[in-house]
Amino acid sequence: MNFSGHSRGLAEKVASPFPISAESWTDGCLGGSLFLHVRAQNAGVIVSKTDGHLQFETFELSPLNAVVMSARGRIIRVFPASARSVPLATTTRHDFQVAIAQTLALMSHQRVAGLQPRVRKASEMVDEDRDTTHPGMITEFFEGFLAAVGSHVEVSSLSKNTREDVLWDNAKSPWRRSPLWLLLRVSLQLKCQRLGGSYADGHRLYKKIWLSAYLTSSSWPHKPGLRTDLLHAMNAKLSRRLHKMDEEIEPVMLASIEKVVKECMSVASRR
């Protein structure tokens, strides 16, 4: 099968920022995953290396406005929607890499007709730009392309109670939670769950990573120009993360948390 496309130059430019070579995937020198936000299609793609294969997992990011506004409390969602496995012998081919990069690059910024919800305005049916896009170009079309060169694979999934908001008052477009932030959290939690061997161990690792991430940026209490409300929000977020830790925390980490919390309170009290 010939995977080459017309926009070869564009595809190679898109792929070049990722320091991953075909040899790295093949010889096992590089593991890990790539988390890709396909913005225009409202979809996330996780690319991971397994034994002799590359695994592509896809899922929707932001649900429809109607789903969010009709829900009571959080929305129970399952990630990923589906997964495909492609042999490394195929993924290391240059034409395959160009086709994948070209497809994802184009889908990241170009919308497709027929995937946007429609409403009636002035006696005509038009696209509702204020709603979210159906991710079919990724979860169906892209998955179908991978099915031609790979196979469906069962992977461990994640059931997540997500908070979703559609805030809309005298504005052109509603405010909703960041889909990129959801992609990052879901991808990291899936990775931790699989590394931990069980849901409990993976979830514990996930919580520790986020707590460590907040501590890594421990200089933010002294950041010039940081508003007091943001300082309070960050302090509350750190305290909430600490409260979620249902097991004993290492003394070094606990001491670091106490130091940051005290610094936040000290800076806020001087204002």
Question: Each residue of 120-147: pLDDT tens digit?
Answer: 888 788 888 888 999 999 999 999 999 9
The pLDDT confidence band at residue 4, using thresholds 50, 70 and 90, is: very low
Give me the chain's average pLDDT, please: 81
pLDDT band of 217, cuts 50, 70, 90: low
Q: Residue holding tokens 């012998």?
A: 89
CB atoms within 10 A of CB 99: 20
Q: What is the pLDDT of residue 204?
A: 83
55-73 mean pLDDT: 92
Cβ contacts of 270 within 8 Å, gap of 6 or more: none
pTM: 0.80
The pLDDT of 189-194, averaged and rounded, is 90
pLDDT of residue 119: 82
pLDDT greater than 80 at residue 208: yes
Whether 42 contacts 61, CB under 8 Å = yes
| CA nearest neighbour of 85 among 146, 166, 160 | 146
Q: Convert 23-53 to b/e letters by CB count within 10 Å (16 or more is b).
A: eebeeeeeeebebbbbebbbbbbbbbbeeeb
Q: Which of 64-68, 158-162, 266-270 has the lowest mean pLDDT?
A: 266-270
Q: How far is Cα 99 from Cα 4, in angstroms, rounded to an integer? A: 6
Reply yes or no on whether the pLDDT at 1 is more than 80. Answer: no
pLDDT band at 6 (very low <50, low <70, confident <90, very high): very low
Note whether 84 and 55 are within 8 A (CB): yes
pLDDT digits (tens, 9 = 90+) for 227-265: 888 788 877 888 887 777 766 677 887 888 888 888 877
Residue 271 has pLDDT above 80, yes or no: no
User: Percentage of the chain with pLDDT > 70?
Assistant: 85
Examine the pLDDT at 85 and tell me if it is beyond 70: yes
Least confident of 19-23, 166-170, 198-202, 264-268: 19-23
Is the CA virtual torsion 213, 78, 140, 149 positive or negative? positive
Q: DSSP string spanning 112-169?
A: -TT-S-EEEETTEEEE-TTSPPPTHIIIIIIHHHHHTTSEE-----EEEEE---EE-S
9-53: pLDDT as tens digits: 333 333 333 444 445 544 444 457 889 999 999 999 999 988 889
| Nearest CA among 74, 92, 116, 81 for reference residue 27 | 92
Mean pLDDT of 160-171: 86
